[in-house]
């Protein structure tokens, strides 16, 4: 599981700031209000690297490490 820390910027529309980037979430923010800090949990199998047409939520990052572990590839990405 990948966990990112974010700050609610617009609770009504589901917008959260992660580092310097803003992302709009599809799910509800469970009573959060603007300025609240949240932990965003991302399943590895739900993450895609590169631009994905038709995807609503995306963050820009830089790949810093790649490890090939047999049938698994572990990638470390810095989110700016």
Give the 3-state secondary structure of the chain.
CEEEEEEEEECCCCEEEECCEEEECCCCCCCCCCCCEEEEEECHHHCCCCCCCCCCCCCCEEEEEEEEECCEEEEEEEEC
Pairwise CA distance, residues 23 & 74, whole Å: 24
Q: What is the pLDDT of residues 60-80, one digit of tens each?
A: 999 999 999 999 999 999 987
Q: What is the pTM of this model?
A: 0.77
Map out the domains of the chain as residue ranges: 2-79
| Architecture of the domain delimited by 2-79 | Beta Barrel (2.40)
The mean pLDDT value of the chain amounts to 90
Using CB atoms within 10 Å of the CB of residue 10, give its burial: 0 to 12 exposed, 13 to 18 middle, 19+ buried: middle
* Per-residue pLDDT at 35 exceeds 90: yes
* Per-residue pLDDT at 49 exceeds 90: no
* Per-residue pLDDT at 30 exceeds 80: no
**Number of other CB atoms surrounding residue 44 within 10 Å:** 10
* Per-residue pLDDT at 53 exceeds 90: no
The mean pLDDT of 11-36, rounded to a whole number, is 90
């Amino acid at each position: 599981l990948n966990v990112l820390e974010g700050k609610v910027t617009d609770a009504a529309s589901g917008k959260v700031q992660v580092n310097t980037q803003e992302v709009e979430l599809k799910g509800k923010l469970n009573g959060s209000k603007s300025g609240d800090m949240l932990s965003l949990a991302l399943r590895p199998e739900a993450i895609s690297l590169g631009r994905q047409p038709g995807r609503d939520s995306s963050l820009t990052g830089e790949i810093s490490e790649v490890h090939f572990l047999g049938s698994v590839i572990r990638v470390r990405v810095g989110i700016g």
